[in-house]
Amino acid sequence: MNQKLTLMKIREVLIFALVIVGLAGIFYKPVFCYDILLHLKTGEYIAQHNYVLPKADSFSYTTGGKPLILHEWLSQIVLYSVHSAFGFTGLRVMRVFLELAALAFIFWAVLQLSGRFLVALLVLLVSAYLFRTRYLIRPELFSLLFFTVFYIRFITARRSFSRIYYVAFFLLCVAWINLHPFMIFTGVIIAIILIAQMAMRIRGVNRWFRVTELPFDPNILFLLFLVASLINPYGYYIYGYIFGATPIVKQFVQEWQPIFIGLQRESFRAITGGALAFPLIMKGLVIGIIVLFLGVMITLYARKIRWALEDVITGLLVSYMAIIAARFAWLLFIPVLLVVKYGRLHIKNWRLPERLKPIMLMLLCSAVAVAGLYWVNEGYHRIPYNLRHEIQVEKYPDVPVRILQETNLSGRLYNPAGWGGYLVYYLYPDYKVFIDTRTHLHGETGVVASMMIQYQYPGFERLIEKFDFDVLLFEKVFGDKRLFCSADWVLIFENANSAMYLKNDDCNAINLNKIVEYYKENNVPFDPKKGFELEKLRRDKYLSERYRLS
């Protein structure tokens, strides 16, 4: 019997290791994030200035002199240091480690709560799919791990916390608030616990909610959280900065949009509402988890199995956050953990009839098999690509940047917000950008102006005149040509993802001559009157590959 149990555990360890290796290959995807290069450049800027944080922005000519609060400055230094030592490969390895560490904690927690390997494996695979919304290399990765560890450590704790736990929590929060502002949500969880404790003192409340004996003092934790959250270079101002940016990002940034917005062309272009390309599977999973959470809670209450008030509030809050903002879908691992936690109590208090046990086991095995087959299919297509490519170059304006570097055109450059970080990384200080993804810094006016020009809404010509641009760099969205036709501008480059124009006037004559000479040196046919002839140049295999024309 012991030999069989040992063999089973060995098999489980091997299966777990195989799953982790497969997920590592999938998470090791090429670098693509509109923010990462801006974070790297900011970290480099801080390091070059003796680690003194800048007080004003210097990357954009539209925000010069504006007060700058770097609420993720420590992450930017860490990301820059890793990149300086190990390149983009180091950043990709770091992402794999942070995400897999968080998933391993979730797996361990479910194993502790349920004692069932298949249940833990299913939750691991489901959580990994939820985490796919946060694959991007950015400061939020630190919050992904820290919050997972924080929450799991609290709901699985059985022994009273010693002083070392409080010290570790305080130090974690001090580092965390300077890495990423999501640390503030830790205070929300502790505040919910305090509110639940106070509510339980009201007569009759304990009839509806179970009393939990906490292994820690939430009052001390909340005090430590408040003190730690102020240990940053900006003190109280960091709160106003974070919450002041929220209305803007909710309105314009895609990942802050509700997950149920469809991916229609019109809604994507709408200034007051974007659309995140969430696949149908993700939307179904989000709905399924929330419905399962609510269904289990109602069913257990019908069988007089009470939940802790703090668990009910936290589960409902997280479910609401996942619905109103796509970027919070990964937090649904909390309702999943609560379903496992209280489902175990349900099974203990109400034993399944013997004839239902095989059916439940078959359903569980089927769920694990479906989740596993999905990841096998996902890995089969992605892993070879991930190992061959370091950066998803096709999503960046690499060729226009190369042209700007080699021609050294002068004047003001227009660029879409998403490409701002890439341009800053490769062109600063020779060029400053019009806008980048720091929505809170550029404000609503800057974001709206950028979108109106990018999508060529009525009146965009007046904005071009207002900002007195010399070079226009457009992003082609969904493969549209989106050609800008004007006698005042000449097309100087176009390929599959971008189009670049130069203002055709006397002031820009020197710039136009630079373009003519550049193409002449590189044996590229170019007529300054007709502009860049994409269809003609595509016939040349060498030029087509060099400038990624197809």
* Max CA separation in the chain (angstroms): 90
Q: Where are the domains of the chain?
A: 396-546
* Per-residue model confidence (pLDDT) at position 383: 81
Q: Which residue, 362, 357, 348, is CA-closest to 300?
A: 348
* Per-residue model confidence (pLDDT) at position 381: 75
* Per-residue model confidence (pLDDT) at position 102: 96
Q: What share of the chain is helix, strand, coil (3-state, %, to 5)?
A: 65, 5, 30
DSSP one-letter code for 490: E
Report the SS3 class of residue 250.
Answer: helix
Contact call for residues 326 and 249 (beta carbons, < 8 A): no
* Per-residue model confidence (pLDDT) at position 261: 57
Residues 6+ away with beta carbon under 8 Å from 302: none
What contacts 24+ positions apart, CB below 8 Å, involve 405-409? 405/430, 406/518, 407/511, 407/514, 407/515, 407/518, 408/514, 409/470, 409/471, 409/502, 409/511, 409/514, 409/515
Token pair 């695979």 in the structure block, residue = 125
Residues 6+ away with beta carbon under 8 Å from 1: none
* Per-residue model confidence (pLDDT) at position 466: 93
DSSP one-letter code for 328: G
* Per-residue model confidence (pLDDT) at position 249: 67
Would the CA dihedral through 145, 151, 154, 155 be positive or negative?
Answer: negative
**pLDDT, tens only, 11-58:** 888 999 999 999 999 899 898 888 899 999 999 999 999 999 999 999
Would the CA dihedral through 206, 209, 210, 212 be positive or negative?
Answer: negative
* Structure tokens that stand for 68 in this block: 């700058």
**pLDDT, tens only, 313-335:** 999 999 999 988 888 999 999 99
Q: Which residue, 415, 456, 449, is CA-closest to 432?
A: 415
Could you give the CA distance from residue 452 to residue 445 in angstroms, rounded to a whole number?
11
Q: Which one-letter amino acid corresponds to residue 337? A: L
Strands (DSSP E) contained in 185-323 are 209-210, 307-308
> Can you give the C-alpha Rg of the chain in angstroms?
27
Going from the C-alpha of 97 to that of each of 24, 94, 152, 244, 479, the distances in angstroms are 8, 5, 18, 32, 35
Burial profile 483-512: b = 16 or more Cβ within 10 angstroms, e = fewer:
ebeeeebbbbbbbebbbbbbbbeeebeebb
> Which residues of the chain fall below pLDDT 50?
1, 4-5, 7, 262-277
Burial profile 293-321: b = 16 or more Cβ within 10 angstroms, e = fewer:
beebbeebeeeebbbbbbbbbbbebbbee
Contact call for residues 103 and 127 (beta carbons, < 8 A): yes
Could you give the CA distance from residue 339 to residue 297 in angstroms, rounded to a whole number?
8
* Structure tokens that stand for 88 in this block: 């983009």
CA atoms within 13 A on the CB side of 65: 1
Model pTM score? 0.90
* Per-residue model confidence (pLDDT) at position 274: 34
Q: Which one-letter amino acid corresponds to residue 129? A: Y
Could you give the CA distance from residue 92 to residue 83 in angstroms, rounded to a whole number?
10
* Per-residue model confidence (pLDDT) at position 160: 79
Could you give the CA distance from residue 37 to residue 401 in angstroms, rounded to a whole number?
14
Burial profile 518-539: b = 16 or more Cβ within 10 angstroms, e = fewer:
bbeeeebebeeeebbebeebee
Contact call for residues 122 and 367 (beta carbons, < 8 A): yes
* 76, β-bridge pairs: none
Going from the C-alpha of 53 to that of each of 62, 73, 106, 397, 464, the distances in angstroms are 20, 8, 36, 29, 33
CA angle in degrees (0–180, nearest 5) for 541-546-547: 105
CB atoms within 10 A of CB 16: 17
